[in-house]
Structure 1
Amino acid sequence: MSFHDGILPREGFHADVLGGLVQHSLLNPILTIPVLLLANYHQKGHQLAAQHMRTFSIVKVAAALGVMRLLNGWLSQRAVNNGVTDTYDWSKEIVLITGGADGIGRQIALMFASKNVKVVVLDVQPMTYEAPPSVTYMKCDITSASALSEVHQKIKRANGGQSPSIIILNAGICKGRSILDSTARDVSLTFEVNAISHYTLAREFLPSIVEANHGTVVTVASSAAWATAPRMVEYAASKAAALAFHEGLSAELVSVYKAPKVRTIVVNQGHTKTRLFQGFNAGGGFFGPPLEVDTVAEAIVRKVMSGSSGQIILPGFYKGLVANFRSLPLWMQHWSRIDLVRVMKEWNGRQVDLGGSPAVAT
């Protein structure tokens, strides 16, 4: 499984490409600050600045914004990493992925395997691909504490007593029904898989990570955590709960467990072309194109292997739009949610049987 190295992203030319160009040019202090220095300390530069005052004013604003952007990014990274660094030996780490039999989880597993990293996949559905030697599949209902405990013991026996140090909470389901059409089991199962299982997995696998003060917990949430739509209310609510889990865990690792080196990553991806969301019509186009599965998986793998905490928002344009959806005026939020009824009209996500109850797995 190779990583993408093309000039354009897998989704082709869209808003993120333009945004990247602006960030690396107009908002790049390495380019704008020398221009300001020349304008102030070089005779020819001073003359040009006087002749093109409006352009020079734009450069000054761009330089200030660029410096603020870099400073904000540095402060954010230092904060979420608690001001401490850590190193990873990827020949010794074990990555645990829930929902890794298909979809995003499958590609995450294959990408780690391409780096010769040991991977354990937990899923209720069988593998949809031939697992490389470094990938081990274990059938497991992640909503069951006893099943997770049994699997944990198997992992340790197979690895000389070692527990996974990287936990990727990727499994997710969606029923695609309105509030009145959904059953109590629909709602409870969605929350059990998409949110409550995070707590069960944490209770089972986090203690060894905390004790070692080393490891990473990745929560695959969704952009739906910020903006829900008709016929996917329980899914959006469960993803909002997953986002809150990530935020709370990040704080508790420092304030309660005294494990500041443990990394946490949350993923808020837009519509991704998995079988979970077949028929989904986001209609994002230029500003929010449907994401290729490999795009999301690669972003997660790269972030994990960087050894740092953070947030992955895809497409990047969502950072300013969807992430701040709730800060919009109420009338705009309400009309937008009503309009989103279109996105689930043709939805026919893949159904998987989970303990006698149909579910949809990523």
Structure 2
Amino acid sequence: MLSVWELFWRMTVGYVTAFLRLIWKPAEKSIRGEIALVTGAGHGLGRLFCIRLAELGATVVAVNKNKARNTETVEILKQMGVTAYGFTADLSKAMFVIHRHSFASYILFTRVASKIREEVGDVTMLINNAGVIYPTDILSLTEEIISNTFHVNVISHFLLIKEFLPNMKQNNHGHIFAMSSQAGLMGTPFMTDYSASKHGIVGLMEGLRHELRRQNMDGIKITCVCSSFVSTSNKQYNCAHTRIHRKEIS
């Protein structure tokens, strides 16, 4: 257990460091030439991520289950004069358990990843942004809703990381980004499944960060953003944009 003085010292160092970074901001890294895959790219934050990544010089791979919306995003990027690709994938079908229903879905999921590697190249920036939310009380949650929430919000993260991390480790170069939520930092009423899934993302990313450090993979960066309410095209839960709290960056 930390002593009072140790705690005071760590807090002081933390505040001083934060203050100095406001004055002398660290240089932003260049992502020009990186291949960035963005899930949930058909609208909202996903589309905005694609546009900003393209502006910074990355080759963008847009992934969304809605082909029409995804195509719109890709067309916007191409009108900007940048290289962009679109792939259709339903992340609610991302499953580990192999049985007669999910086996075909898992194979399809890995085939999309293989197709991306073949047509575009090795992904060096993975932006796990896709998410779903069904705000209701816990007794109204069906098994289908709970399953869909966890498959999209967290299990897909595991599968995409497993697909693209090996090459990042081979080159000790890459960046994995996850969109969590403030609901992943504290329990949230009427969003118990969503909150639990977002807690899972925070645990995944913190664990992965420590794992990579122990493996001396200092060239692979981990970012987990825990946002507050953000206005998106989700008609079920559309709230005013407030602030974004960055949980982990390494």
Task: Indicate which of 65, 71, 77 corresponds to 1:132.
Answer: 77
Task: Give the Cα separation in 1 of the matches to 2:44 and 2:119.
Answer: 26
Task: Give the Cα separation in 1 of the matches to 2:151 and 2:116.
Answer: 23
Query: Normalising to structure 2: TM-score of the pair?
Result: 0.75
Task: Give the Cα separation in 2 of the matches to 1:156 and 1:71.
Answer: 40
Task: Indicate which of 218, 231, 237 corresponds to 1:273.
Answer: 231
- The Cα RMSD (Å) is 3.0
Within a 5 Å distance, the mapping from 1:168-187 to structure 2 comes to: 168-187=127-146
- Tell me which moved more, 148-157 or 95-104: 148-157
Distance 1:73 1:310, change over 3 A: farther
Task: Indicate which of 91, 108, 113 corresponds to 1:152.
Answer: 113
Q: Give the count of matched residue pairs.
A: 215
Task: Indicate which of 162, 166, 182 corresponds to 1:203.
Answer: 162
1:156 Cα deviation from its structure 2 partner: 2.2
Task: Indicate which of 10, 15, 22 corresponds to 1:69.
Answer: 15
What residue is the counterpart of 1:14 in the other structure? none
Within a 5 Å distance, the mapping from 1:175-324 to structure 2 comes to: 175-255=134-214, 257-276=215-234, 280=238, 290-291=240-241, 310=249
Asked if 2 retains the 8 angstrom alpha-carbon contact of 1:109 and 1:135, the reply is: no
AA at the equivalent of 1:140: A
Contiguous gaps of at least 5 residues in structure 1: 1-64, 76-86, 282-289, 301-308, 312-362
Query: Normalising to structure 1: TM-score of the pair?
Result: 0.53
1:115 Cα deviation from its structure 2 partner: 2.5
Post-superposition Cα deviations, 1:86-139, rounded to whole Å, max 9, x if no partner, equal: x96634210011111111111000111223321001110132543322221100
More strand by share: 2
Larger radius of gyration: 1
Task: Give the Cα separation in 1 of the matches to 2:249 and 2:42.
Answer: 25
What residue is the counterpart of 1:33 in the other structure? none
Post-superposition Cα deviations, 1:41-70, rounded to whole Å, max 9, x if no partner, equal: xxxxxxxxxxxxxxxxxxxxxxxx987513
Which structure is higher in RCO with an 8 Å CA cutoff and minimum separation 6?
A: 1
* Secondary structure class of the residue paired with 2:76: coil
